[in-house]
């Protein structure tokens, strides 16, 4: 099978190069056969990559330890689910995963794009084919997943214990899907620039792709946070690690694009900016890959240092220079179709939202690269960790949260002072009441207080938007409140899906504030001994050691330390934290013992127990016990955000209204009157 | 104590210890020392969150010693912190001692002095500059657009009376309720 996989890689490589060369040469303009060939190459490429993927999976499932990758990341006794997901556990496999998904996305883009954009498709195939060919070349010349060993070991090394977690089954593919999905909008942007189709038509072709890739990135990042929380044992979910930062960067610029593209769709403005954002987002996704694989910046996530990083650096520079040069050449053709009429308009609010989002992206990038910069300038390497990022980004994050609430309150084009007063009244009151209540309850942390006041404000904004829309439907069509809200959302899924995403974001922010009140205590307990910890809510938790038991399970020896937990004197259950010593199929110990955290979660706080180790090899043990407020809400925020994103991209909409679409005449009437007032 | 009593107590102690002994102690990770009062000191914890572990994990000393139980560096660094603290050093003095011994890399965030100030200030200044430039461009473009555009109604008479401010406000309110 490795021969077949290797062959498929070469076929894929030449197909991708063919698509890129023919597509970018432009000869297909005069020879329709070449255009069809370029487009068909996307299907051939996808087929070749699927064959390569199946070949690797076959090697993994059949435990062919003669394949270096299989021997390095699996063992005969590894649970089947993890054998399957070992595909993306290492550098070589993850490169193949990237190439496979990109080839499939390239094919799907060809299949699902409307015929209206047919003239763009050869260029789209050229970009997706070219990028896939790059990934295949990286494998063929530097990190080949089908490389064979000169001997066949009796068993493999096994999978890193920290990757033997359900979170790692799904987190990396989700993140990769997000990164890879960005390539499709990028391909359309390049195609539009090459073809000089610089109206907003191509924007409609990528709408679902942009939301989809953003959604995958959001899910991937949130699952990464969840994995870090339940697996790494440090009691947090975000550490501003360079690789975490690298995933956040394209998310931020993509979020900016999702807002600014609305201005282009409605007003024909910001064409240059939107193209720049798409190119930047793609480059940042490649930058993230470079960071992960080059070893240039120390990170807990990095793959082993290898020459692959330099492939990515060269690719990053080449694509960046070519893309921005193309953008520069088309600059004069990207004149806006209209101008901003007022600073008190939604367009202006979105512009400032973009400024803050891109500003945060810049500050994260700056902080991530500052150690390298410092070494260049001063010859001194510094560490830029959470204290730096929190200091710089918390104020910016709060500004962004404020804009999340402000944007929807301001009308397109122009807003009168009276309208502003009317729109801001309820949300401002909601924020104020939130602040007063929390102040009365004794909350004094200024950052937390500001965050929660702003969360109240944003929630007020969203509630007001839903209420006003529903009330209007109730008045106009005599609908009940429930039917009104359902039809309101169904009629404009993108808008109300977006509001739901805003709720998800504010829930994230509220949850993040909980970490300001985290309590951690280390204790040593013999069986029967107790330790007591006060929670930030004033509850008293008592932990009683029930001892440590050892037993064999699957591919490991488990040492399970169990604590009985009482809350204010009432037993609420037990928490078990484990040490896992993994063994190979011959019973030989493989990795160092890993830790499995014990978590008891509720809406208010998590009890987080880590079995730190044994005292002298006995059941007397050290525990790190943390009480982490509001963590449940981080995951809830993720779910709400995903639901909002799915709603926004769901096909259809605007079907349930009795009056149908707003007519052009109505839109013109609105435009004329607003213009009359402005004049 | 008689010899027989001594041996009996010794055997009991060994048996009692064995009763708590794990069948495979190595499978439960490296042996730990019992928790000391200083381990839970809030000042020590806050201090150790500012100091980086030197094992290459990229974590601060506190997080590493309470998370990565395979690390042999962070317990040692923690012991150094405790020793300096018990010797009467202030947190700032302990940080200075760590920087002197391990270099600036020992800090989780660079001290905001000299070139490091650029690390803290550049993002904010860049955003401020971009925001100011954006606001200026918007104001200028708006002025240009306003001077170029003739007032609606001045160029052609549609026969429709101009709306009053109150009518406009009512219309905008109605429109904002039903459309984005």
Query: Is the minimum CB–CB distance between A400 and chain B shorter than 8 Å?
Result: no
* Angstrom distance (rounded) from CA B40 to CA A626: 12
Q: What is the 3-state secondary structure (H, E, C) of A418-469?
A: HHHHHHHHHHHHHHHHHHHHHHHCCCCCHHHHHHHHHHHHHHHHHHHHHHHH
* Angstrom distance (rounded) from CA A447 to CA A507: 16
Query: Is the minimum CB–CB distance between A672 and chain B shorter than 8 Å?
Result: yes
Task: List, for residues A47-76, the tens digit of each pLDDT value.
Answer: 999 999 999 999 999 999 999 999 999 999
Confidence of residue A296 (pLDDT cuts 50, 70, 90): low
At A674 the pLDDT is 38
> Which range, A368-372, A596-600, B8-12, B54-58, is most confident?
A596-600
What ipTM was assigned to the predicted interfaces of this complex? 0.78
Average pLDDT, integer, range B2-11: 58
Residue from A329, A249, A245 nearest A282 by CA: A249
Q: Among partner residues B29, B145, B154, which is closest to A339 by beta-carbon distance? A: B145
Position A656 pLDDT exceeds 50:
no
Average pLDDT, integer, range A617-621: 93
Residue from A284, A267, A429 nearest A348 by CA: A267
Position B141 pLDDT exceeds 80:
no
Task: List, for residues A134-146, the tens digit of each pLDDT value.
Answer: 999 999 999 999 9
* Angstrom distance (rounded) from CA A66 to CA A46: 27
At B15 the pLDDT is 47
**Sequence-distant (≥ 6) Cβ neighbours of residue B129 within 8 angstroms:** none
Task: List, for residues B116-131, the tens digit of each pLDDT value.
Answer: 999 999 999 999 999 9
Residue from B109, B77, B76, B90 nearest B43 by CA: B90
Query: Is the minimum CB–CB distance between A348 and chain B shorter than 8 Å?
Result: yes
Contact A549, A663 (CB under 8 A): no
Task: List, for residues A422-477, the tens digit of each pLDDT value.
Answer: 999 999 999 999 999 999 998 889 999 999 999 999 999 999 999 999 999 999 99
Here the tokens at position B72 are: 């042999």
| Neighboring chain A residues of B152 at a CB cutoff of 8 Å | 672, 675-676, 679
* Angstrom distance (rounded) from CA A222 to CA A220: 6
Residues in chain B: 180
Interface of A with B in 593-612 (CB under 8 A): 593, 595, 610-612
Task: List, for residues A561-601, the tens digit of each pLDDT value.
Answer: 999 999 999 999 999 999 999 998 888 898 888 999 999 99
* Angstrom distance (rounded) from CA A435 to CA A453: 5
At A471 the pLDDT is 94
Average pLDDT, integer, range A545-549: 95
* Cβ distance of A382 and B57 shorter than 8 Å: no
At A166 the pLDDT is 86
* Cβ distance of B172 and A411 shorter than 8 Å: yes
Contact A101, A176 (CB under 8 A): yes
At B118 the pLDDT is 92
> Cα distance from A559 to chain B (closest Cα, Å)?
6
Average pLDDT, integer, range A370-393: 90
Average pLDDT, integer, range A609-630: 93
**Sequence-distant (≥ 6) Cβ neighbours of residue A21 within 8 angstroms:** none
Q: Would you call A579 helix, strand, or coil by DSSP? A: strand
**Sequence-distant (≥ 6) Cβ neighbours of residue A346 within 8 angstroms:** A407, A408, A410, A411, A412, A413
Task: List, for residues A464-488, the tens digit of each pLDDT value.
Answer: 999 999 999 999 999 999 999 999 9
| Neighboring chain B residues of A380 at a CB cutoff of 8 Å | 103-105
Query: Is the minimum CB–CB distance between A655 and chain B shorter than 8 Å?
Result: no
Task: List, for residues A181-206, the tens digit of each pLDDT value.
Answer: 999 999 999 999 999 988 888 888 89
Confidence of residue A650 (pLDDT cuts 50, 70, 90): confident
Confidence of residue B5 (pLDDT cuts 50, 70, 90): low
Residue from A496, A401, A407 nearest A455 by CA: A401
Residues in chain A: 679
Provide Rg for chain B, Cα atoms. Answer: 35
At A663 the pLDDT is 37
**Mean per-residue pLDDT over chain A, rounded:** 90
* Angstrom distance (rounded) from CA A203 to CA A191: 11
Positive/negative CA dihedral, A404, A405, A408, A414: negative
Residue with tokens 């953008």: A327
* Cβ distance of B58 and A589 shorter than 8 Å: no
How much of chain A exceeds pLDDT 90, in percent?
A: 70
């Amino acid at each position: 099978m490795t021969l077949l996989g290797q062959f498929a890689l070469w076929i894929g490589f030449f197909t991708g190069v063919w698509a890129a060369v023919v597509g970018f040469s432009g000869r297909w303009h005069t020879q329709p056969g070449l255009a069809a060939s370029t487009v068909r190459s996307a299907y051939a490429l996808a087929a070749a990559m699927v064959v390569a993927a199946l070949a690797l999976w076959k090697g993994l499932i059949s435990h062919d330890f003669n394949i270096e990758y299989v021997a390095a990341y699996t063992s005969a006794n590894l649970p089947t689910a993890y054998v399957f997901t070992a595909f993306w556990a290492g550098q070589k496999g993850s490169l193949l995963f990237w190439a496979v998904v990109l080839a499939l996305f390239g094919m799907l883009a060809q299949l699902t794009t409307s015929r209206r954009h047919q003239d763009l498709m050869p260029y789209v195939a050229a970009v997706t084919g070219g990028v896939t060919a790059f990934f295949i070349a990286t494998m063929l010349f530097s990190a080949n997943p089908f490389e064979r060993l000169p001997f066949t070991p009796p068993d493999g090394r096994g999978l890193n214990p920290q990757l033997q977690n359900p979170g790692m089954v799904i987190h990396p593919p989700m993140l990769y899907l997000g990164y890879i999905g960005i390539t499709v909008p990028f391909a359309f942007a390049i195609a539009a620039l090459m073809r000089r189709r610089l109206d907003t038509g191509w924007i409609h072709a990528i709408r679902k792709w942009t939301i989809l890739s953003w959604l995958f990135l959001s899910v991937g990042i949130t699952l990464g946070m969840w994995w870090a929380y339940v697996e790494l044992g440090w009691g947090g979910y975000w550490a501003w690690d360079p690789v975490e930062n690298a995933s956040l960067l394209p998310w931020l610029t993509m979020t900016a694009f999702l807002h600014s593209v609305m201005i282009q769709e409605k007003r024909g403005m910001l064409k240059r900016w939107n193209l720049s954002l798409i190119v930047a987002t793609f480059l940042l996704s490649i930058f993230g890959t470079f960071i992960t694989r080059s070893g240039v910046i120390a990170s807990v996530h990095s793959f082993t240092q290898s020459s692959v990083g330099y492939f990515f650096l060269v690719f990053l520079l080449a694509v960046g220079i070519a893309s921005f040069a193309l953008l520069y050449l088309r600059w004069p053709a990207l004149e806006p179709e209209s101008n901003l009429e007022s600073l008190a308009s939604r367009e202006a609010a979105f512009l400032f939202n973009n400024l803050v989002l891109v500003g945060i992206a810049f500050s994260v990038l700056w902080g991530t690269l500052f150690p390298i910069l410092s070494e260049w300038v001063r010859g001194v390497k510094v560490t830029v960790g959470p204290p730096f990022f929190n200091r710089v980004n918390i104020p910016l994050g709060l500004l962004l949260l404020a804009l999340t609430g402000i944007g929807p309150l301001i009308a397109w084009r122009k807003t009168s002072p009276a309208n502003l007063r009317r729109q801001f009244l309820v949300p401002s009151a909601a924020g104020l009441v939130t602040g007063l209540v929390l102040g009365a309850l004794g909350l004094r942390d200024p950052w937390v207080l500001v965050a929660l006041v702003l969360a109240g404000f944003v929630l007020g904004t969203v509630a007001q938007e839903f209420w006003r829309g529903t009330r209007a439907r109730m008045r106009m069509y005599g609908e009940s409140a429930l039917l009104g809200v359902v039809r309101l959302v169904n009629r404009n899924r993108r808008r109300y899906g977006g509001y739901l995403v805003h709720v998800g974001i504010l829930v994230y922010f509220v949850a993040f504030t909980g970490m300001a009140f985290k309590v951690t205590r280390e204790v040593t307990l013999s069986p029967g001994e107790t330790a007591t910890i006060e929670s930030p809510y004033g509850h008293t938790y008592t932990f009683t050691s029930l001892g440590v038991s050892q037993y064999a399970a699957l591919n490991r020896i488990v040492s399970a330390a169990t604590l009985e937990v009482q809350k204010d004197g009432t037993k609420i259950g037990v928490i078990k934290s484990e040490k896992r010593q993994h063994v190979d199929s011959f019973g030989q110990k493989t990795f160092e013992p890993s830790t499995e955290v014990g978590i008891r979660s509720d809406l208010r706080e998590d009890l987080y127990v880590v079995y730190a180790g044994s005292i002298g090899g006995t059941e007397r043990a050290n525990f790190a016990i943390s009480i982490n407020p509001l963590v449940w809400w981080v995951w809830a925020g993720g779910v709400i955000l995903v639901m909002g994103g799915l709603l926004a991209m769901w096909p259809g909409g605007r079907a349930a209204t009795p009056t149908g679409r707003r007519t052009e005449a109505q839109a013109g009437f609105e435009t004329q009157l607003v213009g009359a007032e402005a004049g | 104590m008689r010899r027989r009593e001594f041996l009996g107590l010794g055997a009991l102690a060994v048996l009692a210890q064995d009763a708590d002994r794990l069948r495979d102690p190595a499978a439960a990770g490296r042996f730990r020392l019992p928790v000391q009062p200083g381990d839970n000191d809030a000042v020590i914890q806050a201090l150790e969150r500012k100091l980086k572990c030197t094992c290459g994990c990229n974590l601060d000393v506190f997080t590493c010693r309470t998370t990565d139980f395979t690390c042999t560096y962070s317990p040692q660094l923690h012991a150094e912190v405790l020793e300096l603290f018990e010797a009467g050093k202030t947190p700032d003095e302990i940080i200075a001692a760590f920087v002197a011994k391990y270099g600036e890399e020992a800090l989780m965030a660079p001290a905001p002095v000299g070139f490091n100030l650029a690390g803290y200030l550049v993002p904010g200044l860049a955003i401020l500059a971009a925001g100011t430039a954006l606001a200026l461009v918007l104001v200028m473009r708006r002025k240009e657009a306003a001077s170029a555009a003739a007032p609606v109604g001045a160029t052609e008479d549609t026969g429709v009376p101009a709306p009053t401010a109150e009518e406009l406000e009512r219309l905008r309110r109605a429109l904002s309720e039903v459309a984005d």
